[in-house]
Amino acid sequence: MYMLIVGGGKVGWNLARELIERGHEVTVVESNRGRYATVEEELGHSVQAGDGSELWVLERAGIERADMVIAVTGDDEDNILIAQVGREKYGVERIIARCNNPRNFQHFELLGVKPVVSATDLILRLIEHEVPKYGPLHLLDLHQERLEIIELDVDEASPAAGSRVEDVGLPDGALVISILRDGAGFVPTGESVIDAGDEVLLVLDPNLEESVTGYFTSAAGTRAA
Partner 1 sequence: MFVLIVGCGRVGSAVAKTMLSDGHDVSVIDEDPEAIALLEKGQDRSWEELGGSFTVGTALEIDALLEAGIERADAFVASTDGDNTNLVIAQVAQRRFEVPKVVVRVLDPARAKWYRDQGLSTICPTQAAIELLEEAVRGGDRQEAA
Residues near 84 by beta carbon (within 8 Å), at least 6 away in sequence: 111, 112, 113
Nearer to partner 1, 26 or 29 (CB): 29
SS3 content of the chain, % helix, strand, coil (to 5): 35, 25, 40
Q: Which ranges constitute the DSSP H helices of 61-151?
A: 76-88, 105-110, 119-130
CB of 80 to partner 1, least distance (A): 5
Taking CA 142 as the corner, what is the angle to CA 141 and CA 144, rounded to the nearest 5 degrees? Answer: 140
CB of 76 to partner 1, least distance (A): 7
Residue type, 187: V
For binding to partner 1 (CB under 8 A), which residues are involved? 53-56, 75-78, 80-81, 85, 88-89, 101, 103-104, 106-107, 110-111
Residues near 19 by beta carbon (within 8 Å), at least 6 away in sequence: 3, 5, 26
Nearer to partner 1, 17 or 107 (CB): 107
CB of 89 to partner 1, least distance (A): 6
CB of 213 to partner 1, least distance (A): 27
CB of 62 to partner 1, least distance (A): 17
DSSP annotation string for 128-169: HHHSTTS--EEEEEETTTTEEEEEEEPPTTSTTTT-BGGGS-
CB of 104 to partner 1, least distance (A): 6
Nearer to partner 1, 57 or 175 (CB): 57
Nearer to partner 1, 79 or 217 (CB): 79
